Homo-oligomer: A and B are copies of this chain.
């Protein structure tokens, strides 16, 4: 995840609004751990010389400097991705609307990561089972122990990919409105409106009767908890 030596402008170096850029592993991991959906992009040759980009939204779990991805064993696109073609993954979280006095200075507070790398297929059943467990834990911590691990047939039906991050950058905007000085006299309201993502009242499956909520779900609903 370090800039490659000898390249003046590495592919992951943010070129625009550079003060928003971060390359530290810790900043990148924190955003990846807060996100839920990755948009995975790669290029497919649809006919000789014709290149088509494809972007697929996928759940993921971070494992060190890799992202675990999964899908159906029958997915042709995941087959292609798992061949180790160059891929690019985007994860973005939106934190607030930034409402300026001018159209031009409207913005959004956000945290995003763009990561470059390649995916490899994971075939080993034990590794696949462990990855599925991590994917459940990424969705909701503590849940893997509260549900049945994958059996042999389920593992056989699952394609598991490990996307190794080769380099990545994070981009973050936070803070307040940045209006032009000349606009401050305008009669328009300016300010920040936070966007909050929270969990609402759980809907137990019809078969559940009046069983209590498990610890993992109770933790999602604790005061102050947020996605």
Q: Would you call A177 an interface residue if the criterion is a C-beta within 8 Å of the partner chain's C-beta atoms?
A: yes
Contact indicator B147/A57 (Cβ below 8 Å): no
In whole angstroms, what is the CA distance A59 to B94 when docked? 10
Interface centre among A36, A100, A143, A148 (most CB of B within 10 A): A148
A interface majority secondary structure: mixed
Contact indicator A205/B179 (Cβ below 8 Å): yes
Within 147-186 of A, Cβ neighbours of B (below 8 Å) are at 147-151, 154, 157-158, 176-177, 179, 183-184, 186
Scoring A residues 181 to 198 as 1 if CB is less than 8 Å from chain B, else 0, what string do you get? 001101011111111111
Q: Count the copies.
A: 2
CB < 8 Å neighbour of A205 from B116, B177, B198: B177
Interface, chain A (partner B; CB < 8 A): 11, 15-17, 36-37, 39-43, 46, 51-57, 59, 71-72, 74-77, 86-90, 92, 94, 97, 99-104, 106, 108, 110, 112, 114, 116, 132-133, 135-136, 139-140, 143-144, 146-151, 154, 157-158, 176-177, 179, 183-184, 186, 188-208, 211-214, 216-217, 220, 227
Known: A11-B46, A140-B193. 11 other contacts (CB 8 A): A16-B75, A39-B90, A39-B92, A41-B55, A43-B43, A103-B135, A189-B211, A189-B212, A191-B202, A191-B204, A193-B200
